[in-house]
């Protein structure tokens, strides 16, 4: 927490020769409620940050399914390109869906690595294959 005197050697309007000017209790009494509010705010912020990271890591496993779905959409796109009557949508819709799934999966993993709070570990890492675990 902050020092209410801001590191001043002498308090303002101190009496000449007053050696205990910085030990007066009033600055600390005035600053105490603000220090408590700051501590509560920081605790709430970090608790929310860790909770959001925990929930987001739970959904990281679904990005593997997005890669598989993107591969399937590429094959569907090829099939619709060859026979346009096979689907009610144009072939480029399936192609853009495939690229979108790849981009979302990669972006989500990169975002989670950036969003991680300091010192937090992915608690869902044990559910991924050993080759893709974070070091």
70 and 133 housed in the same domain: yes
Residues 120 and 130 in one domain: yes
pLDDT of residue 9: 57
Helix ranges, the chain (H): 26-58, 62-82, 91-115
Query: Which residue in this structure is represented by tokens 């790849």?
Result: 102
Instruction: Note whether 71 and 46 are same-domain residues.
Output: no
Length of the chain: 135
Pair (3, 68) in one structural domain: no
Residue 32 and residue 81 share a domain? no
**What would you report as the CA-atom Rg of the chain, rounded to the nearest whole angstrom?**
29
Same domain, 15 and 1: yes
Q: What is the pLDDT of residue 126?
A: 73
**Boundary residue ending a domain (58, 76, 99):** 58
Cα–Cα dist 58/122, whole Å = 9
| Statement to judge: residues 38 and 63 lie in one domain | no
Higher-confidence position of 52 and 3: 52
pLDDT digits (tens, 9 = 90+) for 75-124: 988 888 888 888 888 888 889 999 999 999 999 989 998 998 988 888 77
Are 33 and 66 in a shared domain?
A: no
Rounded Cα gap, residues 89 and 80, in angstroms = 8
pLDDT at 135: 57
Taking the C-alpha atoms of residue 90 and residue 76, their distance in angstroms, rounded to an integer, is: 11
Q: Give the range of the structural domain holding residue 9, as residue numbers without chain letter.
A: 1-58
pLDDT at 24: 66
Q: pLDDT for 14-43, tens place per residue? A: 555 555 555 667 778 888 999 999 999 999
Average pLDDT score over residue span 62-74:
89
For residues 14 and 63, membership in a common domain is answered with: no
CA-nearest of 69, 54, 62, 47 to 108 is 62
* 69 and 89 inside one domain: yes
Query: Could you give the C-alpha distances from 134 to 23, 54, 80, 122, 127, in angstroms and in order?
Result: 50, 15, 38, 8, 12
The number of CA neighbours under 13 Å toward the Cβ of 39 is: 8
Q: Count up the domains in the chain and report the number.
A: 2
């Amino acid at each position: 927490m902050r020092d209410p005197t801001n590191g001043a050697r002498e308090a303002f309007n101190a009496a000449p020769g007053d050696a205990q000017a910085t030990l007066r209790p009033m600055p600390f009494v005035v600053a105490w409620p603000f220090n408590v509010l700051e501590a509560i705010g920081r605790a709430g912020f970090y608790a929310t940050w860790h909770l959001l990271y925990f929930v987001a890591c739970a959904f990281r496993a679904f990005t593997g399914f997005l890669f598989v779905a993107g591969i399937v959409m590429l094959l569907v796109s090829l099939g619709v390109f060859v026979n346009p009557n096979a689907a009610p949508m144009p072939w480029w819709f399936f192609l853009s869906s495939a690229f979108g799934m790849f981009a979302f999966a990669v972006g989500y993993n990169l975002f989670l690595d950036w969003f991680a709070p300091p010192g937090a570990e992915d608690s869902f890492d044990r559910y991924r294959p050993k080759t893709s675990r974070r070091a």
